[in-house]
Structure 1
């Protein structure tokens, strides 16, 4: 845990400068180092900020088809969304409206088309049960058995157990944030128990608490506009909330609201 975002940025800059002075540390091990960000909401934008501070350069998704043409001593990041991997009739032409009506017409090609090209995935996409699993066990096992796969780690910033990642059954804690996954042993808590081709997986669902000062200020600034109205109400009944508050309400009277019932 860092005391502040500035302290985190300072650490990132030290890593950036060290790698810039010793470019062979990237090129001789895993270069180029490619970070993928799946989902560009507030969380995804935060991941992008971190990669930029680390010195990564942005590339379009199309560049993943020709990774050998990238500088092997550099770091890159790519922004991905549903339009890239939910494919219809062999084409990536995702439409939320059409998907809602014709789910069976779409195929998820994320593992084979994108995940194997990334060094690290920052998973921050919004997910509900209306969407298929993003990373299936079959897909990740096939990827890990592919000698050309570049994937080393997944940082699950959404961290929904039994959700978009089939093999994520429970979340970890800040004290023990990682587990390992390989196609032979499945989930392992310790590197010694995992196979040599395993990936490391970050699975902490309360990451804002890792930066408590900035996290508190962010929530404070977001909620302050609604505090006067909330305090003036005699009762805060979910059914009578303003639409904006209702949209953000996860729990009411000890139960998940309909929108977030899948979290239970």
Structure 2
């Protein structure tokens, strides 16, 4: 028998019911490759212990015999053992301080850490992700929040009938329900509203594609950014009840030099040469869905300063709800202050105190910033993820991780995702040493 691969149960919170590999895919891998699998038992997983046993997969608590441990979320520090390979979303590549102890543990015991976020093709396009399902669930939760905020403002609309994503038995059920609500909106409109509700989507990647799939269930008309102001002032008779506008990088920023022009690759490589102009669009939006990848090098979309200037007594800003699907705390949406669980997905940011209150009632904008949104659609998100991951497992099982990094034979898309190996940071991730040093200073 070749390598033994362990599947760790997810236990970060009660909502984490996803799996990295579904029973049918493990059965196929075990049947056609020289691999053995061990799955940890779980009382909450969407695919039960019985599902795995029925597929011929061993279910047991002890994973110490595993050469490779596969998980969704990061592995607990006390589980990381010597010279074992760990594949997960490690949440370390930005130098996140809360996971520097995990990174240090991998270095201390000579474990190999591979991060899904860095598995990418030659153009650095990610190959495996839950992003699409984050978009599905995030759009649904944001629409739920909008229906609630409108009710707070005295407007009862069909949006109130949308359920939380986790309350649907499946994604298909959710989409069918939304289509029925969409038909009602076509007939009934959105109550007394004479202007369309404007939905801004920042980004156009996989998360945005998930959002678009949900929004397409409703009578939504897309307009270009250039027509946003006109649509916001227009009537439902001319534009329909719901209008969507998609913002790309060139819409978010301008060059600091009057003589320079926007160049996408230059923006990626030298973001300091650009400043945000996104605030010019905010007065025209009812909803903002934030789907962009962000680091502190890049300008923000929404700042505390803008919120304080536009919300408060005798102020009636149009922007009601921000669905911060990217959920970077105090990041591109600076008033995203926490990552709530799905049972209470929203809070209102107070522009004066800077504090937040759960729910949708209050003076400031509603923020929806659940950071584990795919958990609300655990079966579909797991099946999608497993379909991609199963193609990578044989290479991991066949690789000899005993040698140094240079001699490690892995497909390029996997090798570029190796963060630690045999006690050291791999060349592409040596920048993380600075964060490790800060964590111990």
Q: Shared topology, TM-score over 0.5?
A: yes
1:161–1:169: 8 Å Cα contact kept in structure 2?
yes
After superposition, the CA RMSD in angstroms is: 3.3
Superposed displacement of residue 246, structure 1: 4.7
Distance in 2 (CA, whole Å) between partners of 1:42 and 1:107 is 25
User: Which of the residues 179, 204, 207 maps onto 1:43?
Assistant: 207
Pair 101,158 (structure 1): closer, same or farther in 2 beyond 3 Å: closer
Please report how far the alpha carbon of residue 128 of structure 1 lies from its aligned counterpart in structure 2 after TM superposition.
Answer: 1.9
| Distance in 1 separating the partners of 2:430 and 2:337 | 21
1:245 aligns with 2:245: no
Q: Which residue of 1 aligns with 2:177?
A: 11
> Structure 2 CA distance, aligned partners of 1:41 and 1:49?
12
Evaluate the alpha carbon distance shift between residue 101 and residue 229 of structure 1 in structure 2; reply closer, same or farther with a 3 A threshold.
Answer: closer
- What pairs up with 1:22-61 in 2 under 5 angstroms? 22-25=188-191, 27-28=193-194, 31-61=195-225
Q: What are structure 1's unaligned runs of at least 5 residues? A: none
| C-alpha displacement of 1:189 | 2.5
Offset, 1:182:
3.0
**Could you say if the C-alpha distance between residues 224 and 101 of structure 1 is closer, same or farther in structure 2, counting changes exceeding 3 Å?**
closer
| 1:121 paired residue number | 288
Q: Which residue of 2 aligns with 1:98?
A: 266
Counterpart contact for 1:36–1:121, Cα < 8 Å: yes
Structure 1 position 172 matched with structure 2 position 336: no
Give the one of 241, 246, 249 matched to 1:74: 241
CA contact (8 A) 1:59 1:76 kept: yes
Deviation at 1:8, TM superposition (A): 0.9
State the shift of 1:155 in Å: 0.8
Q: Separation in 1 of the partners of 2:296 and 2:325?
A: 18
Shift in Å at residue 11 of structure 1?
A: 2.0
1:92-149 residue CA offsets vs partner (Å, 9 max, x unmatched): 95324333565444220112x1122111111101112221333211122223359463
Q: Classify the secondary structure of the residue corresponding to 2:184.
A: helix
| TM-score computed with the length of structure 2 as normaliser | 0.52
Paired with 2:386 and 2:210, the residues of 1 have a C-alpha distance of: 18
Structure scoring higher RCO (CA < 8 A, sep ≥ 6) equals: 2
Contact 1:180 1:199 in 2 (8 A): yes
Provide the rounded CA distance (Å) in 2 between the counterparts of 1:238 and 1:26.
68
Query: What count of residue pairs does the alignment treat as equivalent?
Result: 256
- Matching residue of 1:150: 318
Q: 2:387 — aligned with what?
A: 221
Aligned with 2:201: secondary structure? strand
Q: Does 1:160 align with 2:328?
A: yes
Separation of aligned partners in 1, 2:268 and 2:377: 37
Distance in 1 between residues matched to 2:375 and 2:265, nearest whole Å: 35
Match of 1:231 among 397, 401, 411: 397
Whether 2:270 is the aligned partner of 1:108: answer: no
- 3-state secondary structure, aligned to 2:243: strand
In the alignment, the residues of structure 1 paired with residue 273 and residue 267 of structure 2 have an alpha-carbon distance, to the nearest angstrom, of 8
Q: Compute the displacement of 1:224 (Å).
A: 2.0
Of stretches 180-189 and 141-150 in structure 1, the one that deviates more from structure 2 is 141-150
Cα 1:187–1:130 shift into 2, 3 Å: same
More divergent stretch after superposition (200-209 vs 14-23): 14-23
Contact preservation (8 Å) 1:3, 1:213: no
Q: Could you list the runs of 5+ residues in structure 2 that have no partner in the other structure?
A: 1-165
Tell me how far apart the structure 2 counterparts of residues 122 and 6 of structure 1 sit (CA, whole Å): 22
